[in-house]
């Protein structure tokens, strides 16, 4: 006797809702977890290198789902029951699924498992699914032959290998600061003014000398054209960590803050009070001659000088750095304790960096006008992402992984924002993807959305400035690369994947990438929303086709909004996903040939699996995403390096 459809659906809904209620707490905790929480020790016997990572047989997932609808244990389920269960499961896992797709997946199950009259016989389900899904379970990859033998290193050696360039640059900077401070400190110990102000004066002057150096070099890391040009040299790039230019800029800025506090604070809190309290006769014999006529009486020093906090004045003036540098030069030319012009050396420190920086700004302004770009196509995607396809200016040469600055006068005439290029160097156009994360990007999205809704609107004018070097362009240094992108952080790696695929399709490396050196590329993309896969759907399909023969590129999508594989609430979706992929080679989540995994990657398993697969090799790890996971991945790379013969070299994007 067949159970009525309504009763089946009620039974299934009650059963699934009951399970959802029981597990809501664990799901909520999982959503609130940071990405770094997935990093935990890995058993030695785990192997992650399989072509698909569905933890259970698809028949197991379908059987559990169908059991939830088979309340009376009749083992007879109709197509409508299956469709309703599919729709409910999709909704439970925050997946977008229309009626046509649900019907298609229902028919797919019935075609494989029905025995007649549109009724599903549960006792033949496992047998049918097991038979048809066998071919999709790829063989377990064997370790690739290593090109060189290595030995396991200690944690100290691994840390030094990973950071020696940073250590070298920071060491030179600290030594330069220490040398200048010591030199000026000892110099002022020999002055008459030392008898009045003592070590306060020497310390303040030593800090001032380091301040000159830091005010000079703080501009250099943000001279992006110069940095991009210098990193082309293999010798210079092998010594200077250009990928950390922004971090070094911040470090020098911290040195400036310390210098200002020491120099200004000691003058205000120590030197000037000593001057005001000193004996007039002694003051006249020592440093009175260094003051102007109105300052030879210590009692005439303005009260404001004794009360003003110099650090606050500098901090606010930092936001108008042009005025800061002008005032710095003016201040240095009117030193009350230095008459000799040769001692007024501030301009000597900052002259070359300021000229370079001004030249950079002028070059950027001219180039942005010369590199005229016209918008060919604008598309808005789920997640408030704007994709722009523009003309490629003549002479615009770049490497995959680089980025450009974008300006839209209709949004702001002064703001420039960096975005990774998602087009490949061989493409006849340039493309970028902009996600709305701030005021400027929200306005940009609204402008183009209104334009697309209005048939009479013309495309807004935009300007490109670049290209500029980034960490991702170093992928060409490695034979094996691991690309990790979180959300919109996948953008620089889309360009890399397209470049690799184009090179493989041509059968030789192009001008920007030596594809003959690359052995393997792994791409992991982690996102929270199913709609995110629309951003690069066409590109991932294209890459899959171009790489179908060589098999150099392996891509893995992870969707964190779905309950993890093995959870009862996602088993039906997992089973249909595997069945559809086996029949059509297309993933039902991403609508691409790339299989989508649920929840977050187990990064220790990923890295340990790659270490076993590529024994003795150097693997370049490139990451773009939140800093928290970046720090965890960097530590994990160092940890794996101390336990395996494989060397993971970590790179993170900084804009």
- Give 508-566 pLDDT, tens digit per residue: 444 344 445 788 999 999 998 888 888 998 898 888 888 887 888 999 999 888 777 66
**pLDDT of res. 621:** 93
In a domain, 183, yes or no: no
**pLDDT of res. 547:** 83
Residue 432, pLDDT above cutoff 90:
yes
Separation between Cα atoms, residue 543 and residue 627, nearest integer Å: 28
Q: Are residues 524 and 632 in the same domain?
A: yes
In a domain, 181, yes or no: no
Which CA distances in Å does 537 have to 28, 53, 272, 589, 592? 29, 21, 67, 11, 6
Q: Are residues 586 and 535 in the same domain?
A: yes
Query: pLDDT band at 67, cuts 50/70/90?
Result: low
* Tokens of residue 30, six digits: 């999982």
Separation between Cα atoms, residue 375 and residue 389, nearest integer Å: 6
**pLDDT of res. 23:** 37
Q: Are residues 374 and 314 in the same domain?
A: no
In a domain, 157, yes or no: no
At 164, give phi and psi (nearest 5°): -65, -35
Among candidate residues 287, 321, 356, the one where a domain is terminated:
356
The residues with which 520 forms a beta bridge, in sequence order, are 480
3-state secondary structure of 650: strand
**pLDDT of res. 3:** 32
Closest CA to 85 of 25, 19, 129, 29: 19
Highest mean predicted confidence (pLDDT) among 1-10, 121-130, 518-527: 518-527
**pLDDT of res. 422:** 92
Which CA distances in Å does 315 have to 45, 221, 258, 260? 56, 20, 12, 9
Q: Are residues 345 and 456 in the same domain?
A: no
Bridge-based pairing state of the strands 596-598 and 553-559: parallel
**DSSP letters of 482-495?**
EEEEEGGGGHHHHH
> Cis ω on the peptide bond leading into residue 467 (within 30° of 0)?
yes
Query: pLDDT band at 570, cuts 50/70/90?
Result: confident
Separation between Cα atoms, residue 488 and residue 485, nearest integer Å: 7
pLDDT above 70 as % of the chain: 68
**pLDDT of res. 294:** 41
Which residues lie closer than 8 Å to 185 by C-beta, 6 or more apart?
202, 203, 205, 206
Average pLDDT, the chain: 74
* Total domains, the chain: 4
Full domain range(s) for residue 279: 188-356
Q: Are residues 346 and 382 in the same domain?
A: no
* 426: CATH: 2.40.30.10
Which residue did the predictor score with more confidence, 344 or 40? Answer: 344
Q: Are residues 476 and 463 in the same domain?
A: no
Mean pLDDT of 605-628: 91
**pLDDT of res. 251:** 92
- Give 271-308 pLDDT, tens digit per residue: 555 555 454 554 454 444 444 444 444 444 445 444 44
Query: pLDDT band at 644, cuts 50/70/90?
Result: confident
Angle 5-32/58-69 helices, nearest 10 degrees? 120
Q: How many angstroms from the chain centroid is the CA of residue 362?
A: 29
Among candidate residues 453, 468, 483, the one where a domain is terminated:
468
Q: Are residues 481 and 589 in the same domain?
A: yes
Q: Is the backbone of residue 84 left (phi > 0), alpha (psi -120 to 50) or beta?
A: alpha
Half-sphere exposure of 219 (CA within 13 A, CB side): 22
Among candidate residues 406, 436, 468, the one where a domain is terminated:
468
């Amino acid at each position: 006797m067949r159970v009525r459809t309504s009763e089946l659906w009620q039974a299934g809904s009650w059963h699934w809702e009951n399970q959802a209620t029981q597990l809501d707490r664990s799901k909520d905790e999982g959503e609130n977890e940071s990405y770094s929480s997935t990093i935990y020790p890995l058993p030695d016997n785990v192997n992650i290198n399989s072509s698909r990572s569905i933890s259970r047989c698809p028949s197991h997932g379908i059987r559990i789902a169908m059991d939830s609808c088979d309340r009376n244990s009749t083992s007879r389920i109709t197509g409508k029951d299956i469709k309703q269960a599919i729709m409910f499961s999709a909704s439970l896992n925050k997946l977008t699924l229309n009626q046509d797709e649900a019907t298609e997946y229902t028919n797919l199950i019935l075609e494989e498992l029905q025995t007649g009259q549109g009724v599903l016989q549960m006792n033949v389900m496992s047998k049918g699914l097991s038979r048809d899904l066998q071919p999709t379970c790829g063989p377990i990859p064997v370790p690739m032959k290593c090109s060189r033998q290595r030995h396991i290193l200690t944690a100290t050696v691994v840390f030094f290998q990973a950071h020696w360039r940073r250590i070298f640059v920071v060491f030179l900077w600290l030594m330069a600061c220490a040398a200048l401070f010591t030199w000026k400190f000892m110099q002022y110990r020999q002055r008459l003014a030392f008898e009045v102000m003592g070590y306060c004066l020497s310390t303040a002057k030593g800090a001032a000398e380091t301040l000159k150096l830091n005010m000079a070099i703080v501009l250099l890391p943000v001279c992006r054209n110069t940095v991009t040009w210098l990193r082309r040299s293999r010798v210079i790039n092998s010594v200077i960590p250009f990928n950390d230019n922004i971090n070094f800029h911040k470090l020098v800025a911290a040195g400036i803050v310390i210098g200002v506090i020491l120099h200004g604070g000691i003058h205000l809190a120590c030197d000037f009070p000593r001057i005001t309290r000193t004996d007039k006769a002694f003051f006249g014999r020592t440093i009175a001659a260094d003051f102007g006529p109105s300052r030879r009486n210590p009692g005439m020093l303005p009260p404001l000088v004794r009360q003003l906090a110099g650090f606050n004045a500098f901090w606010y003036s930092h936001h108008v750095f042009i005025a800061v540098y002008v005032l710095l030069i003016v201040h240095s030319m009117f030193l009350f304790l230095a008459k000799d012009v040769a001692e007024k050396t501030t301009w000597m420190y900052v002259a070359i960096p300021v000229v370079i920086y001004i030249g950079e700004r002028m070059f950027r302004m001219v180039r942005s006008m010369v590199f005229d770009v016209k918008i060919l196509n604008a598309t808005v995607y789920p997640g408030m992402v704007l994709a722009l396809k523009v003309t490629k200016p003549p002479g615009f040469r770049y490497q995959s992984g680089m980025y450009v600055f974008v300006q839209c006068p209709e949004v702001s005439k002064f703001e420039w924002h960096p975005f990774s290029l998602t087009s490949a160097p061989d493409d006849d156009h340039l493309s970028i993807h902009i996600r709305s994360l701030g005021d400027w990007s929200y306005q940009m999205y609204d402008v183009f959305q209104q334009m697309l809704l209005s048939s009479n609107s013309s495309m807004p004018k935009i300007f490109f400035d670049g290209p500029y070097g980034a960490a991702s362009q170093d992928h060409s240094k490695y034979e094996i690369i691991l690309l990790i992108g979180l959300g919109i952080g996948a953008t620089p790696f889309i360009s890399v994947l397209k470049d690799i695929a184009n090179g493989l399709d041509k059968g030789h490396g192009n001008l920007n990438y030596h594809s003959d050196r690359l052995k393997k590329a792994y791409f992991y993309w982690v996102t929270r929303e199913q709609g995110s896969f629309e951003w690069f759907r066409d590109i991932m399909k294209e890459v899959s086709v171009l790489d179908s023969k060589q098999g150099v590129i392996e891509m893995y999508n992870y969707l964190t909004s779905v309950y993890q594989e093995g959870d009862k609430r996602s088993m039906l979706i997992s089973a249909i996903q595997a069945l559809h992929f086996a029949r059509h080679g297309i993933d039902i989540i991403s609508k691409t040939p790339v299989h989508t995994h649920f929840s977050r990657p187990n990064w220790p398993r990923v890295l340990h699996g790659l270490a076993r697969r590529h024994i003795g090799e150097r693997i370049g790890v490139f990451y773009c995403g939140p800093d928290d996971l970046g720090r965890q991945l960097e530590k994990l790379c160092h940890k794996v390096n101390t336990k395996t013969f494989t060397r993971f070299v970590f790179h993170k994007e900084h804009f």
